[in-house]
Structure 1
């Protein structure tokens, strides 16, 4: 049975955002490749996830080789039949099949061209002319599937006949495709510029010139890049060359990699390709002074500060569950200081990270302390459904007192959401420093180590302790608390002036009136006796003393009446407010830390 519905994605118009998760069939990727190629100038958000049971399929593996293709240019939606499941670059190679052609040119060096041209007969210009008359498969592909602007008519001028590659590039390449390639030193497809090629052709014979024109016309002309702002991948093996060539990393602001292989090589490559460079300042004074000349053997860049460097990358969000030392070095050295706003670090079941909590603290936390708004540090083991499992892996990234004091000590002024595991011996230390981060809105504590009650602790009691701090310090804006598997919300109820009892608000049962009225009827004999005793205690407490039990009752009633009077005065002024705790479901749609705790898209 055919499990794939087609046509599917290939019939859609250009999109700005494309989200496809749990892909388990190859034809869906081929259909998406057509849509992505059509949305080249519009696509800004791309989220792709491979199904768990399809990770071991051939098309989900990164393949390399000269005989492999990314997609069939003539029949793209039937590529699984025409060229098979082994694809150049794996999943990302398929998706970018109409964005950037990763195939290497067959002939690059001029020596090989001369060697082949010398073996040909002088009449070899005839097949070249026929080759120039027949358009390449790429032009047909762009016309049939990607539907670009109408191609420019080829004029029979000597210049156009001299270099057909110029006309093809004008049809396939948009104007102003972006800055230069930062990966030029890593992987580069050799192409000849029109100026240099024309200079060489003047010195070459007629036969070699025609052969060179034919070979240039056969080279791949797809060299575009996706100008994505958000890229999220799940269970997608990464092909570093494809990511280098097919994505404009200077436009990317959010990157999520969950259960993706080969990510360590990606961080190393990005760190090398986008290393900060020295800024070219304007010099009001002469640049050369006796004191500015560096001495022999001294490092010229040692005196450069972060303000004197240019950082090409604009990443503001990083979410990954494969934390490697290369990632920590990338976050610390490649991104501009105080530029990262969201950092979610987790640990996958199949990946054992060698990064310690100390490295995370010394690296990205201190580097981006003024800009971090949302922070999640969780090394717990998750089930395939994203639920916590009974293991002790979460202790690896247990936040100690030094890091806890740094986070809660006011040194991260932009922090709005935080998720971390702490030790119970630091619980009161955490409560004492909570007023130092009044801007915190959401708190997630999945684990508390070495609690006095063991594993039988009550999350509600811990939430009530936090609510006490919020009640005592009104400037604290904490609203949502996730403790272990429970989630709570702090609600603020403004009390009305009409004297409704506290029991209506779910609080104490003290009445709102100044004292009991004469016509008040409770309908209970014992309550009437207590009220009578209270009235006698209020009227005669300065004149006579009754028994010890009655005196105790009188004192309690006096305190209650005094508290009620104070609350009434505050209520009249409009300043009083009562807080209450409500258990809710995790607000994954409102709180990013709650949504990220699952470790999946």
Structure 2
């Protein structure tokens, strides 16, 4: 019989070996197990930095970055190109020939100086860490150059690499990009690279440096783009434009399924992204764009007005910028070959990135944004559509649409086959251009949407709600004979929403545009410079209750944070503190799929909340960032109260508990463990690391009905309390004794951001 403790987590299995140390021991057992363990051990190369509060002056474990790479860069026959050793004279006759049998011995004796383990690596990941340690690996320093060379050598041997993650804001050396692009040039081997995540470094110092003398190794273009430099007469050459950045980078990568580029502070990064996105147009499913906190107010990043065309020398000082559609226009609005109607005159060449004499290669490297006429046509189309919806007359928008019918850019912008069919879109500090966003993306396919610190968010929610309002279809066959029944058809398929722009328009969008009980993830923050007018009861009524049967992960936090994501001392988080009525609802059995929860509570509701944890047996992770007026100020004491509930009711599936700034893992205590209820102080173990009116709360919640598919609180209580723990006459005393042996303990850990979504989302940044 399987005990409840054996089913606490789906990640643990007695028949599987998942820890690296266990795999290492297994590999040392015999050659057969060595062959089975090695591919698993080297399938991932993950570097996670320790916490800033580490007592060590030098970060422990960081040397694994260089030591691990040194293990992978040397192949078995790395030195085969060296000349053979000189033969020694024969001891018998003195001739230079080898003695009999010695030649065979020299041939058979081979010393292995390397390995072939890099071919098993499918994920290469370097995480972010404290700035005081990370900055030593910047590409502008000697250590960073050496690290980049090691990474390039290792990546070039990872022929089966699928994921490349560089979240360390140090910059990525040009050689690394060339190594990644070489994975698509292997004869008889297709590139398996699907996902690239890069966080750029602060390049403001290099941007101010003039390019003098011969170009450096980082600024020299590839051979196939060398002709473009010489032909761009009268305009800044590629060397002058890209001399202070690592170039080329993203533009030479093969088509991808997932692309994430964060902390962008250079226009060249966006231009390189545009080339790669266009190449991956038929394959790209995930896109993340993040602008640097230091550069997001720069004039060249803001969309140019409809009256302003792209000029070679704009007031921003950046050639070719600002774009008509801003960042989104530059990245999403590019077309390789715009479709022009027959007889249409060719539009004059734009004096943007390159001149009229630039070669085809240089044109391929420059993004072609949506033109001003295209933006105007789309805007008129949106306005006419909105008028027709309210007036009910279909003839109104026809004349303006026909007036722009002959525009080639408009044909591309509204063409459905040229839209990006993304499933995940995440934006940070991007000024939103609504016409570009609506017409460059196929929103009916989008499942995950993240909007953080983006100007124009209210216009986006209004435009999406207006364009994708559900339609009502009538059926002749109803429940009763001869009667008609109506059904609502929803166009959007959004399941995951994460935003710090919580406005009434957002809640109206969730309530009116998404089908009830379809939203699975709801993460709501408050932006650093945005004070939301939405109350917690509005979030509860319009979002949580409307999707209570489908919601799996909830985070509602109004903590005031700095632009970098760090928490600031304030009491603004009181605004979105959950009331007792809301606690009653989420723990009444009406949310059967809830797995992760992060909310703020009042101290008077704390004991009421933990008493109702048995009514949420499927909850896996719990995060309580704030408790108003707490009696117990120690986070561990609060976590121990949750541990008591889990010990008494082992069917409660909570494994990870985050209280304020501390995180704990609930583990089953071993027999005879003297410290089974105490922290083992293993903090680094496995550390991969529309407005609403106020209404009175009611525990009974009379508005709730039992026909919503969920069990009531009474039913949930009776079901969970009906377990047989032994009769009163002592017949099942042995069973009671065995159950009493099941105990649990707390272990303090780092927040598992890579395992628990609410832990990762608590920062409010990408």
TM norm. shorter chain > 0.5: yes
Question: How many Å apart are 1:68 and its aligned residue?
Answer: 2.0
Q: Residues of 2 paired with 1:96 and 1:335: CA distance?
A: 25
Q: Does 1:54 align with 2:295?
A: yes
> How far off its partner does 1:185 sit?
4.3
Deviation at 1:337, TM superposition (A): 0.4
Q: Which residue of 2 aligns with 1:596?
A: 761
Give the Cα–Cα distance (whole angstroms) in 2 for the partners of residues 136 and 25 of structure 1. Answer: 28
> How far did residue 449 of structure 1 move?
0.4
Q: Is contact 1:356–1:396 with CA below 8 Å preserved after alignment?
A: yes
Report whether the alignment pairs 1:89 with 2:342: no
Give RMSD over aligned pairs. 3.8
Matches of 1:60 and 1:235, distance apart in 2: 10
Alignment-derived partner of residue 263 in structure 1: 457
Match of 1:398 in 2: 577
1:222 matched to 2:222? The reply is no
Secondary structure of residue in 1 paired with 2:663: strand
Structure 2 equivalent of residue 585 of structure 1: 750
CA distance in 1: counterparts of 2:408 and 2:293, whole angstroms = 39
The whole-number CA distance in structure 2 between the counterparts of 1:332 and 1:450 is 34
Whether the 8 Å CA contact 2:639–2:664 is kept in 1: the answer is yes
The match for 2:266 is 25
Shift of 1:145: 7.9
Mark the CA change 1:145 to 1:44 in structure 2 (over 3 Å): closer, same or farther.
farther
- Residue 643 of structure 2 corresponds to 467
Is the partner of 2:743 in helix, strand or coil? strand
Question: CA 1:286–1:417 in structure 2 vs 1: closer, same or farther (change >3 Å)?
Answer: closer
CA gap 1:426/1:81 in 2 versus in 1, 3 angstroms: closer
Tell me the SS of whatever aligns to 1:279.
Answer: strand
Deviations 1:12-69 (Å, cap 9, x if unpaired)?
A: 2221111100000111111111111111111110001000110111221122225424
TM-score by length of 2: 0.51
Following superposition, the deviation at residue 251 of structure 1 comes to 0.5
- Give the aligned partner of residue 244 of structure 1: 438
Matches within 5 A, 1:379-398: 379-398=558-577
Give 1:503 deviation, angstroms. 2.1
Q: Using the alignment, how far apart are the partners of 1:6 and 1:86 within structure 2?
A: 21
Note if contact 1:36-1:43 (Cα within 8 Å) is conserved in structure 2: yes
User: Aligned residue for 1:278?
Assistant: 472
Structure 1: where are the runs of 5+ without partners? 73-79, 109-127, 148-180, 189-211, 293-302, 496-500, 508-565
Q: Aligned residue pairs: how many? A: 429
**3-state DSSP of counterpart to 1:577:** coil
Q: Of the candidates 206, 225, 233, which is equivalent to residue 427 of structure 2? A: 233
Q: What is the Cα deviation at residue 452 of structure 1?
A: 2.6
Comparing 426-435 with 573-582, greater Cα deviation is found at: 573-582
> Which residue number corresponds to residue 674 of structure 2?
503
- TM-fit CA distance, 1:6: 2.2
Checking the alignment, whether the CA contact within 8 Å between 1:459 and 1:484 is kept in structure 2 is yes
The structure with more helix, counted as a fraction of residues: 1
Match of 1:309 in 2: 488
Instruction: Give the conservation status (yes or no) of the 8 Å contact 2:623–2:657.
Output: yes
Q: Distance in 2 between matches of 1:83 and 1:220?
A: 25
Aligned to 2:510: 331
Q: Which residue of 2 aligns with 1:358?
A: 537
Find the aligned partners of 2:646 and 2:318 in 1 and give their Cα distance.
Answer: 65
- How does 1:478-517 map onto structure 2 within 5 Å? 478-495=654-671, 501-503=672-674, 505=676
TM-score (norm 1): 0.65
**Aligned position for 1:341:** 520
Worse overlay, 376-385 or 483-492: 376-385
Give deviations 1:265-319, integer Å, cap 9, x for gaps.
10011001101111354638999x5x76xxxxxxxxxx85xxx111000000000
Distance change (3 Å), C-alpha of 1:376 and 1:285: closer
In structure 2, the residue matched to 1:199 is none
- 1:45 maps to 286
Q: Using the TM superposition, give the Cα deviation of residue 352 of structure 1 relative to its aligned residue in structure 2, in angstroms.
A: 0.4
Aligned to 1:514: none
Aligned equivalents of 1:283 and 1:32: distance in 2?
52
Would you identify which runs of 4 or more consecutive aligned residues in structure 1 move more than 4 Å? 80-83, 99-103, 134-138, 140-147, 181-185, 215-221, 284-287, 504-507, 568-575
* Change in CA separation of 1:142 and 1:494 when aligned onto 2, cut-off 3 Å: farther
- What SS class does the counterpart of residue 254 from structure 2 fall into? coil
| Gap regions ≥5 residues in structure 2 | 1-208, 210-242, 351-356, 365-377, 386-401, 679-730
Partner Cα distance (1:388, 1:182) in 2: 39
